[in-house]
Structure 1
Amino acid sequence: MAKNLMIQGTMSNAGKSILTAGILRVLYQDGYRVAPFKSQNMALNSYITRDGLEMGRAQVMQAEAAGIEPDIRMNPILLKPNSDMGSQVIVNGEVLGNREAKEYFRMKKSLIPSIMKAYGELDKSFDVIVIEGAGSPAEINLKDNDIVNMGLARMVDAPVLLVGDIDRGGVFAQLLGTIWLLEEEERARVKGLVINKFRGDKTILDPGLKQLYDKCRIPITGVIPYTKLDIDDEDSLSERLDRRQIGKGIDAAVIRFPHISNFTDFGMLEGCEGVSVRYVNTAEELGKPDILFLPGSKNTMSDLLWIRQNGLEAGIQKAALEGCRIFGICGGYQMLGQRLLDPDGCEHGGELAGLGLLPITTTFGKRKHRTRVEGRVEPIEGIYQGMSGVSAEGYEIHMGETCLLETCGRFASVTDCVTGKQYPDGCVKGNVCGTYIHGILDAPGLLKGLLNPVFLEKGMPPGTYRDLAGYRQEQYDILADVIRAHMDMDAVRRIIGLK
């Protein structure tokens, strides 16, 4: 049986995901077989495993840090918000359906067998499981049906580290208030406190740390400095989505839809020297980018209406007419077409006109298409010619099927890695290109084919393109160095029960 440790936070974005990854990396470096676990994740950034199942990106990132293949058992429940009051509920990688918040709240306990089965299978295969909580364990209105914080800690008998975010202020009140709101049995599970995102001289913090210990008698296990790392973030909390400034070199703009999903598609692009990536909310911010990306969306029709109402639709169409490269991925690809049909009310219902930039139409249905794919970009003429013949691989995750309305160049020919089926993907017409493949920009060859012609047009030398997999491993090692330097890992090992 595996030993375990649970990381809980005083609030969302306290740093639970990164701290979990850091501890996993340290233990992995020390020779332990380790795995992440989060019973319920709410995220629009998701991932498709090799067997075609859907899970949250945070646990994918943590699995990479642990040196193992992402597995759906690491995140048995995924909630993908599709409105202010509801989410698509995914259990064991399969869509259960859409549920309003009250309905899901009532059904949560019925999902405990799925959670425990997933955890139990990991328990047999690893030395240590590091569990991530969600939100705060002191959300007392949710405690009766808790399956992700102290409720889960009780079910799997896990000790807890509680993390507070000093960068957002009030960290002593965060930690102490959370402890005081816990039940006695829950407080007994908290074996250490961690202060995250600290800036400055730690000696100035020491008197407060002593008072905190005097009031709750729980030791401080670590004070983690504010550290800039290029590691996948959680959804709308990501700081990268706030980038607005136009930088030097290639200006790459990404439309920031209200339901933007899988913005991790642009991580490789953001790391390219000479490329400036910014996220656009309004027509005024759009400007004249060199490349304009329409990313994925959890609610394509709703986000299409949003760009129509705020003027971005006209700005995108104008940019296309002026020759700007327009590149749509998944939901963004669907929006570029002529029509979007939703006869079963899976998204918005009814019919909407698309942006009219590609000769395609998309019909939404109840079946979600999700798989990993690999293949090659088709021969393309014109400004996208540089991508011809390069590797095209990644994963598809979308509602709706898209068909061509006229003869038009396909983007790629791919093979479904789960079923072995071969089929064409995407569409290219002039300066407008669309694909269903998430992660398509992670391939250095494809990014080179897309960007080098733009560098040439701007009179700049060709860009340099890093090995993304190797780069990520370097970032996890840097994270582990930070954890070793600023956490009492001997204390953490004792808490876990390791020698």
Structure 2
Amino acid sequence: MAKNLMIQGTMSNAGKSILTAGILRVLKQDGYRVAPFKSQNMALNSYITREGLEMGRAQVMQAEAAGIEPNVWMNPILLKPNSDMGSQVIVNGEVFGNREARDYFRMKKSLIPSIMKAYGELDSRYDIIVIEGAGSPAEINLKENDIVNMGLAALVDAPVLLVGDIDRGGVFAQLLGTIWLLEEEERARVKGLVINKFRGDKSILDPGLMQLYDKCGIPVTGVIPYVRLDIDEEDSLSEKLEQRTAAGRIDAAVIRVPHISNFTDFGMLEGCEGVSVRYVKSAGELGKPDLLLLPGSKNTMADLLWLRENGLEAGIQRLAGEGCRIMGICGGYQMLGSLLEDPEGVEHGGSLAGMGLLPVVTRFRGKKHRTRVEGNVGKLSGVFEQMSGTRAEGYEIHMGESTADEGCRCFADVTDCVTGQQYADGCVKGNVCGTYIHGILDSPELLKGMLEPLYREKGIQPGIYRDLQAYKQEQYDRLADVIRMHLDMEAVYRIIGLD
């Protein structure tokens, strides 16, 4: 039976995900078999496992930090918002259905057996489980049906570290207010407080830490400095999405649609020397990029209408006519086509004209296609010619199926890693290409084929394309160094019960 520790926060984006990953990495370095767990995650940044099942990307990052393969046991419930009032509900990696917020709130306790089964699978295989909460445990209007914060802590008898974000200000009120809003038995679970994202001289903070202890009787276990590490974040809250200006010679613009998903597709590109990746929300920000990228979307038709209404669609079409290299991934690929049809009302209902940049028709269906694929880019010409024959691998996750006109050049020939089926992926026409493969830009070989013609045009010496997996491991080790230096790991071991 595994020991456990739960990381809860005073709010969203307090740093729970990264702190969980850092503690997992330290424990792994110290010789323990460790695993992450989050009973319910709300995010559009998802991932497909080897078995073809869907889970939240944050737990994938944490699994990488723990040195283990991601599994849906680590995130049994995933909510993918598809409107302001509702989400697609994923249970144990498969679509459970769409639910309005009120309906999900009423039924979520019925998912406790699924949560406990997943936790039990990890419990039987690992020494320590580090659990991440969601939002805040002090949402008193939600407490009755809580399955992700103190409700889960009670189910699995977990001690808690409570994290507050000092960078936003008011961290003492965050921590103390949260403690005071907890029930007595919940308060007893909180064994330590952590102040995150601190900048400055800690000695100035020390008097406040003493007063905080006097008021609640819970010690501050660590003050974590504000550090910049290149580690995958939760989607809608990532600072990366606020990048608006181009600092590098090669300007890569990503359209930040309202329902953007899997922006981690561009992480490798962000690390390329001389390349600036910026996120565009309006026609005025578009400019004249060298490379334009349309990301995945949880609601392709709604996001296409948004592009149409705010003038970005016209700007994208103008850039296509001027010869700008344009790549659409998943929902972005669908938008580039000629027509989107939704006869079953999976997204928006009805039909909607696409941007008309690729000869492709997409029809939405109720069944989600999710798998991992591997193969090679086809024989391309023009601005994408150097990508020909390069490695194409990643994962697919989409509700629509796209059909290209006969004779249209496909982007890649791939094999479904789950079923073994072989098929053509995507479409290329001139300086516009589309693919369903998330993670396609993680291939150094493919990225080189895309960027080196641009390097030549700009007169830039190409840089070295990093080994993504080795780079990630280096970042996790750096995170562990920060945790060891600024979190009282002896106290953490005692809290876990390993003293």
Give the alignment's TM-score, normalised by structure 2.
Answer: 1.00
SS in 2 for 1:473: helix
Hey, what does 1:333 align to over in structure 2? 333
Instruction: Tell me, in whole angstroms, the C-alpha distance in 2 between the residues paired with 1:444 and 1:302.
Output: 33
Instruction: Tell me, in whole angstroms, the C-alpha distance in 2 between the residues paired with 1:386 and 1:400.
Output: 29
Hey, what does 2:29 align to over in structure 1? 29
Instruction: Tell me, in whole angstroms, the C-alpha distance in 1 between the residues paired with 2:112 and 2:248.
Output: 51
Instruction: Tell me, in whole angstroms, the C-alpha distance in 2 between the residues paired with 1:67 and 1:129.
Output: 13
Instruction: Tell me, in whole angstroms, the C-alpha distance in 1 between the residues paired with 2:247 and 2:67.
Output: 35
The structural deviation recorded for 1:235 is 1.1
Hey, what does 2:131 align to over in structure 1? 131
The structural deviation recorded for 1:364 is 0.0
SS in 1 for 2:386: helix
Hey, what does 2:441 align to over in structure 1? 441
Hey, what does 1:163 align to over in structure 2? 163
Instruction: Tell me, in whole angstroms, the C-alpha distance in 2 between the residues paired with 1:463 and 1:491.
Output: 44
Letter in 1 for 2:202: K
Letter in 2 for 1:80: K
CA contact (8 A) 1:334 1:362 kept: yes
Query: % of aligned pairs identical?
Result: 81
Hey, what does 1:94 align to over in structure 2? 94
CA contact (8 A) 2:8 2:149 kept: yes
Letter in 2 for 1:148: V
CA contact (8 A) 2:273 2:462 kept: no
The structural deviation recorded for 1:248 is 2.5
Q: Does residue 287 of the first structure (1) align with residue 284 of the second (2)?
A: no
Letter in 1 for 2:74: M
Hey, what does 2:153 align to over in structure 1? 153
Instruction: Tell me, in whole angstroms, the C-alpha distance in 2 between the residues paired with 1:26 and 1:463.
Output: 32
SS in 2 for 1:423: strand
Letter in 1 for 2:209: L
Hey, what does 1:197 align to over in structure 2? 197
Letter in 2 for 1:378: G
Hey, what does 1:391 align to over in structure 2? 391
The structural deviation recorded for 1:381 is 1.1
The structural deviation recorded for 1:171 is 0.3
CA contact (8 A) 1:452 1:463 kept: no
The structural deviation recorded for 1:404 is 1.1
Instruction: Tell me, in whole angstroms, the C-alpha distance in 1 between the residues paired with 2:287 and 2:69.
Output: 41
CA contact (8 A) 2:337 2:358 kept: yes
Hey, what does 1:242 align to over in structure 2? 242
Hey, what does 1:298 align to over in structure 2? 298
CA contact (8 A) 1:198 1:226 kept: yes
Letter in 2 for 1:327: M
CA contact (8 A) 2:362 2:402 kept: yes
Deviations 1:372-410 (A, max 9, x none): 000000011111011100100000000110001231111
Letter in 1 for 2:426: G
CA contact (8 A) 1:384 1:431 kept: yes
Instruction: Tell me, in whole angstroms, the C-alpha distance in 1 between the residues paired with 2:187 and 2:288.
Output: 55
Hey, what does 1:484 align to over in structure 2? 484
Instruction: Tell me, in whole angstroms, the C-alpha distance in 2 between the residues paired with 1:423 and 1:437.
Output: 13
Alignment of 1:235-274 (within 5 A): 235-274=235-274
Hey, what does 2:307 align to over in structure 1? 307
CA contact (8 A) 1:269 1:447 kept: yes
Letter in 1 for 2:397: I
Hey, what does 2:172 align to over in structure 1? 172
Q: Does residue 231 of the first structure (1) align with residue 231 of the second (2)?
A: yes
Hey, what does 1:116 align to over in structure 2? 116
CA contact (8 A) 2:254 2:295 kept: yes
Q: Does residue 456 of the first structure (1) align with residue 456 of the second (2)?
A: yes
SS in 2 for 1:126: coil
Instruction: Tell me, in whole angstroms, the C-alpha distance in 1 between the residues paired with 2:310 and 2:135.
Output: 32
Hey, what does 1:412 align to over in structure 2? 412
Hey, what does 2:321 align to over in structure 1? 321
Instruction: Tell me, in whole angstroms, the C-alpha distance in 2 between the residues paired with 1:64 and 1:132.
Output: 15
Hey, what does 2:355 align to over in structure 1? 355
Deviations 1:424-480 (A, max 9, x none): 100000000000000000000000000000111111112321000000000000000
Deviations 1:93-148 (A, max 9, x none): 00011000000000000000000000011000000000000000000000000000
Instruction: Tell me, in whole angstroms, the C-alpha distance in 2 between the residues paired with 1:11 and 1:73.
Output: 25
The runs of 4+ residues in structure 1 deviating greater than 3 Å are none
Letter in 2 for 1:317: Q
Alignment of 1:419-438 (within 5 A): 419-438=419-438
Hey, what does 1:186 align to over in structure 2? 186
SS in 1 for 2:383: coil
Letter in 2 for 1:213: Y
Hey, what does 2:342 align to over in structure 1? 342
The structural deviation recorded for 1:309 is 0.1
Q: Does residue 81 of the first structure (1) align with residue 81 of the second (2)?
A: yes
Instruction: Tell me, in whole angstroms, the C-alpha distance in 2 between the residues paired with 1:135 and 1:259.
Output: 20
Instruction: Tell me, in whole angstroms, the C-alpha distance in 2 between the residues paired with 1:462 and 1:136.
Output: 46
Instruction: Tell me, in whole angstroms, the C-alpha distance in 2 between the residues paired with 1:229 and 1:324.
Output: 32
SS in 2 for 1:236: coil
Letter in 1 for 2:462: P
CA contact (8 A) 1:373 1:414 kept: yes
Letter in 1 for 2:263: F
Deviations 1:226-248 (A, max 9, x none): 00010001011000000001223
Instruction: Tell me, in whole angstroms, the C-alpha distance in 2 between the residues paired with 1:66 and 1:121.
Output: 16
Hey, what does 2:277 align to over in structure 1? 277
Hey, what does 2:61 align to over in structure 1? 61
Instruction: Tell me, in whole angstroms, the C-alpha distance in 1 between the residues paired with 2:381 and 2:150.
Output: 58
Instruction: Tell me, in whole angstroms, the C-alpha distance in 1 between the residues paired with 2:464 and 2:334.
Output: 31
Instruction: Tell me, in whole angstroms, the C-alpha distance in 1 between the residues paired with 2:405 and 2:441.
Output: 27
SS in 2 for 1:383: helix
SS in 2 for 1:469: helix
Structure 2: gaps of 5 or more residues: none
SS in 2 for 1:409: coil
Letter in 2 for 1:195: I
Instruction: Tell me, in whole angstroms, the C-alpha distance in 2 between the residues paired with 1:343 and 1:406.
Output: 23
SS in 2 for 1:14: coil
CA contact (8 A) 1:359 1:406 kept: no
Letter in 1 for 2:99: R
